[in-house]
Amino acid sequence: MKNTIAERIFDFLKDFPPFHLLTQEQLSNVSKNVKVVYLQKEKYVFKNNDEIHNHFYVVKDGAIGIFREEDNLLVDKCDEGDIFGLRALIRKGNYILSAKAIEESIIYSISSELLEKIITTNIEVNKFLLASFATNTRNPYSNENQGTLFGQIKKIQKNELNFTEIQSAQYSKNPITCTLDTTISEASILMTNKRIGSIVITKQDKPIGIITDKDLRTKIATGKFSIEDKVHKIMSFPVITYPENISIAEAQIAMLQNKITHLCITKDGTVNSKLTGILSEHDIVVIHGNNPSVLIKEVKRATKAETLRYIRNKAEQLIQGYINQHIPIFFISKVISSINDAIIQKAIALSLEEMDTPPPTTFGWLSLGSQGRKEQLLLTDQDNALVFENVPQKDYNRTKDYFISLSKKVTQKLNTVGFEFCPAKMMASNPRWCLSLQEWKNQFNNWITQPDQDKIMLCTIFFDYTLVYGNQELVNTMSDSIFKSINTYEIFLNFLGLNALKNPPPLSFFRNFLVEHSGRHKDQFDIKIRAIMPMVDAARLLVLSHNIKEYNSTILRFEKLTQIEPQNKDLFTSCINAFEILLTFRTQQGLLHKNSGRFIDLKSLSKADRLKLKGCFKSIKDIQDLIRIRFNLSQLL
Amino acid sequence: MLYWFRHKNYPDFWNQYRNHFIKKKSFDLDITRFIVFDTETTGLHIKNDRILSIGGISIISNTMDVSDSIELYLKQDTFNPETVEIHGILKDGNNIKINEKQAIIEFLEYIRDAVLIAHHASFDIAMINEILARQRLPKLKNKVLDTGVLFKKTELCHVNSKPYSLDELCAIFNIKKHDRHTASGDAYITGLIFLKILGELTSKKRITLKDLFYNRNRPGLL
């Protein structure tokens, strides 16, 4: 029999977890048995200590508050699509919280018996409900719990299989070769220069044998052969050859079967045709790309910006993998930052090689902003600066020119890698940000003692600097100078505080959600400005007010703050949790949409994601309240 | 007396329906079974037009129970193509259709002694009673409430003299109009309106079923 009302309920429930995990038949059955309850404002669904109902509830319209009876504390607010009263599922005991309509509401009541039947057959729903039951009964202040709830959901989603095994393998297409009458010493020098672990011995372009690092170790270093002997004395032969379209799986099997680490790739796959490449075990490891140390090694071997770009793309896959595996975001950002740092260091080293002369004096390359805070997971604009040792006036122009042209090379390479040029030109190649130590000191002093809006903005970017390459001493002197300036002009912190409060968090998602009102990103939520930056700004301000410079990452800053101000430990801990969630969220969105993840289309968010974000705003509000009071900002606002 | 009824030789389904009314009923609102229902018809003429579909859902203790609902589509002999545009029920549409007799059997079995609620109920009740008459049966025995009338008991009603349409009440009570102009959809909406009216009335004063039946000319009692 047609049931129009049930169909309408079906349409509503299907969008919300855990109902979206049910089969059509299961959900249709649930929908046909829903009871629709109307509640006036202030009416209770159940009270603390009531015997549990045979139903749990889903909010259709309005809002239900979950209260702790003893002090009437609003523990949670449920609106459209939220589930509550899951305690019914344990079928025993009494409610430990009260549920009351805080607005006129319509709720669906769903038989727990019916759901139980589904749970036994649908393990994903089971997991979800267990997780959400666990969190519903806890203190909302610890956002950790919300994290676990959504962690569960993520686990429920299927990971797409990665069919790397059947991809054709990428191998070195310009194999280094030598002839049979090359001496071992010549071959070794060639291998060293080319930074390779193997060399193929060829005769008329056809592979005859191969020498690897291992041969040198077992046959030369042990004294069995002299380095003046010819390579054919120690080479392994015959070589194992494969055609060019070998798949990764084939290659792995071939290596295992023959107990070798290198395969020769030839035109037709036999030893009788031209050698076109060499595939090493290392190449396979790189393709699997699940190992950051491999990536960093790759960076060190790289000789071109294009190679760095390839490695950075691999790193992106690494992020995706980590996120899928629920590796904590703090760890992910640490790994990615060290890869980024290695890439930047390599870009600088390559650029220095291209310069005609070595640098006239020592310098330090600074990463700024998110890269400086080691929070840059996805490729974004590059923000960097350069500081060089003070030089006599007569040498100044020459020195500065040198570093600017060096910086141009570096930024160009980083651009190739994928760190696009900063549209605001906050880069070391800009003469404004390529300065001597004394100039930087003056500059910071000027920003601190004569702040205006632009200078404060610059402070928020430049204060998060990290030395990536060069002279640490220069940077330490610079940091000391900044604190000296701040200490002589403390009102600066109040300005910084005002800046930190510039973007209050949206309080509720559903009604007052702040979206961008104009421009290209109209009606999208700017997670960077509205949620991440307020956290970053707050952490920076608070550590600066404690005279701490060495902590740059927002998470480390909050951790440090929990030690300095144990009385605010809960708040700072909730900030860390919220920040981790926000960063994960932005990264996921960025990976999903192949962009910076900054602008989020709210309509595309699942209920769970919306809740996840909502949970973070509370922490932002709390930390902003603390700043407002501590720095007496109410009257300034 | 009983003998006389038997003598009339009513069918079993009617006798069963009638038996539900033997016992006296409580006036406690929380245990009363209400059925909100709506009919979609070929037109507004009680004698000439026919019911196309009936939708209904029960309300007990402020709760609408989807599992206790009914949705019937009737086979038509007379068919007025003009009203199809409003209701979307074609003469040979996809829904399973039953004849008028089967429909009334299922309807009576479903409603039992519930208090019936409809918006502008007199029309829907009259249409049902016409079916009963065609089956040579007496009229419905249920108590009936009309949301159009009940609304006038609330403080939300400012103009007592005019009739309020379902659409107007939806606007006043902020109800989304899903499936408007299907019998079940309208029954559901009417149900929400009834619950909201009841909430409005009970928030002011404790009332029983009896109070709902006092007509609006005696508002002093409420």
| Poorest-pLDDT segment among A335-349, A397-411, B134-148, B204-218 | B204-218
Q: Is pLDDT at A629 greater than 80 in this prediction?
A: yes
Asked, for residue B70, whether it belongs to a domain, the answer is yes
Q: Phi/psi at B168 (nearest 5 deg)?
A: -65, -40
Percent of chain A with pLDDT over 90: 20
B74 is in which domain, residue-wise? 32-221
Q: Phi/psi at A436 (nearest 5 deg)?
A: -75, 165
d(CA A576, CA B76): 68
Confidence of residue A130 (pLDDT cuts 50, 70, 90): low
From the centroid of its chain, how far is CA A34?
42
Q: Is B64 close to A109, i.e. CB distance below 8 A?
A: no
* Structure confidence at residue A149 (pLDDT): 32
Q: Is pLDDT at A485 greater than 90 in this prediction?
A: no
Q: SS3 for B63?
A: strand
Q: Is pLDDT at A137 greater than 70 in this prediction?
A: no
**Chain A residue at shortest CA distance from B203:** A40
Asked, for residue B6, whether it belongs to a domain, the answer is no
**Chain A residue at shortest CA distance from B201:** A40
Q: Is A5 close to B182, i.e. CB distance below 8 A?
A: no
d(CA A352, CA B73): 84
d(CA A571, CA A621): 10
Please state whether the peptide bond connecting residue A451 to the residue before it is cis, i.e. omega within 30 degrees of 0: no
The arithmetic mean of pLDDT across residues B155-179, rounded, is 84
Asked, for residue B26, whether it belongs to a domain, the answer is no
Interface test with B, best of A10, A35, A53, A106 (most B CBs within 10 A): A35
Pairing of strands A206-212, A198-203: antiparallel
First and final C-alpha spacing in chain A:
63
Side chain identity at residue A67, one-letter code: F
* Structure confidence at residue B81 (pLDDT): 63
Question: CATH number for the domain including B164?
Answer: 3.30.420.10
The arithmetic mean of pLDDT across residues A107-116, rounded, is 86
* Structure confidence at residue A283 (pLDDT): 75
**Residue (of A222, A218, A231, A223) closest to A189 by Cα position:** A231
Maximum average pLDDT range among A124-128, A415-419, B81-85, B151-155: A415-419
A216 or B80, higher pLDDT: A216
Provide the shortest C-alpha distance from residue A5 to chain B (in Å): 6
Q: Map out the domains of chain A as residue ranges.
A: 4-118, 169-288, 292-489, 492-630
Q: b vs e for A467-506, b when ≥16 Cβ sit within 10 Å of the residue's Cβ?
A: bbbbbeebbebbbebbeebbeeeeebbbbbbbbbbebebb
Residue A30 in contact with residue A110, Cβ under 8 Å? yes
Asked, for residue B5, whether it belongs to a domain, the answer is no
How many domains does one find in chain B? 1
The CATH number that domain A492-630 falls under is 1.20.120
Side chain identity at residue B212, one-letter code: L
Q: Is A4 close to B71, i.e. CB distance below 8 A?
A: yes
Q: Is B63 close to A109, i.e. CB distance below 8 A?
A: yes
* Structure confidence at residue A518 (pLDDT): 52
Q: Is pLDDT at A370 greater than 80 in this prediction?
A: yes
d(CA B97, CA B191): 25
Is B181 marked active-site? yes
Provide the shortest C-alpha distance from residue B200 to chain A (in Å): 8
pLDDT in tens, A187-229: 999 988 888 888 999 988 889 899 988 888 888 888 888 888 8
> Would you say the pTM of this structure is higher than 0.90?
no
The arithmetic mean of pLDDT across residues A52-74, rounded, is 83
d(CA A366, CA A428): 8
| Poorest-pLDDT segment among A419-428, A506-515, A569-578 | A506-515
Residue A299 half-sphere exposure toward CB, CA atoms < 13 A = 26
Q: SS3 for A542?
A: helix
Q: Is B185 close to A4, i.e. CB distance below 8 A?
A: yes
ipTM: 0.85
* Structure confidence at residue A507 (pLDDT): 56
B128 or A494, higher pLDDT: B128
Longest dimension (CA), chain B: 53
- Correct CATH for A169-288 of 3.90.199.10, 3.10.580.10, 1.10.274.30, 3.20.20.70: 3.10.580.10
CATH topology of domain A292-489: Beta Polymerase; domain 2 (3.30.460)
Touching check for A54 and chain B: CB below 8 Å? Answer: no
The Cβ of residue A35 has, within 10 Å, a number of other Cβ atoms equal to: 22
Confidence of residue A634 (pLDDT cuts 50, 70, 90): low
CATH topology of domain A4-118: Jelly Rolls (2.60.120)
The helix/strand count (H/E) of chain A reads as 23, 20
Both tokens of residue B94?
A: 């996809």
Side chain identity at residue A184, one-letter code: I
Asked, for residue B1, whether it belongs to a domain, the answer is no
